[in-house]
Amino acid sequence: MLRLASVGSGSKGNATLVCSGETTLLVDCGFGAREMLARLVELDVDAADIDAILVTHEHSDHIGGVTAISKATGAPIYATHGSIISGKLESARRVVEIASDSTFAIGDIDVTAVTVPHDAREPVQYIFQHADKQVGVLTDLGTVSEHVLRAYSRCDLLLLEFNHDLEMLRRGPYPAALKRRVSGDFGHLNNQQALAMLNSLGDDLPQVVIAGHISEQNNAIDVVESLLEPMISSTDLTVIYATQSQGFDWVSPKSDDDISRVA
């Protein structure tokens, strides 16, 4: 069974684990090697079991610890050409270049790298398929393009960015230029954009959504909770909240048994 866990989620560092039982993948590492290795133990992951590290883009909250954890675990790094030439992987030993919008297999997981609108060189986010289940990771994008919506329309479980509340960002402490960057078309999804994406999915709404990359300055879990409340009470959607300090513990798509029990 495909499952997902996070070591931490937010602007200070991101690292997400995807595991099929046989194959373990790490998406990004914005944490130092020592902290990362300690947190892997908490999630019951043997660092030597990581088969590959997938980079989404070169911002330091995603790539900062990638080279170090690759050296510590021996796992190769998969990244787009733009991420590779950003200079952030210069001292890495094992780098595999991937094409945006391609699908490739690592062990028994099929990985699709989806192009997203974000202010990095060649940013992608990832969808994972194993057996009949699909799990998506979608953070760090300024708008939900048609391309993104189509690509993520079959997920059973989705880690989705609820970065900021627009009003909290406006009134918050960030300098004006940073506010413009965060809320811009190549910045981050605000709560309403993330909710609109879920609404657009209609019948293809995933059974489980993890709200992630939640800004500690410009958002709050209870704000996201009250926004999602109507959707949760009118569908069988389960929502989990990822935090900067803890990430979230292992979660799997609902089994077909669980779904038919609700239906």
Residues of this chain that bind Zn ion (CB under 5 A): 59, 61, 140
Distances (CA, A) of 14 to 26, 47, 57, 146: 10, 17, 11, 25
The string of DSSP letters for 159-227 reads EEE--B-HHHHHHSSS-HHHHHHHHSTTS--BHHHHHHHHHHHGGG--SEEEEES--TTT--HHHHHHH
| Residue 106 or 120 with smaller CB distance to Zn ion | 120
With contact defined as beta carbons under 8 Å apart, do 25 and 257 qualify? no
Which is nearer to Zn ion, 59 or 254 (by Cβ)?
A: 59
Considering beta carbons, is residue 51 or 140 the nearer one to Zn ion? 140
> Whole-number minimum distance, CB 72 to Zn ion, in Å?
22
Minimal distance in Å, beta carbon 9 to Zn ion?
9
Q: Is the dihedral of CA 171, 187, 191, 140 positive or negative?
A: negative
Structure tokens at 263: 């239906």
Cβ closest to Zn ion, residue 81 vs residue 94: 81
Q: Which residue is nearest to Zn ion (CB)?
A: 59
CB of 50 to Zn ion, least distance (A): 21
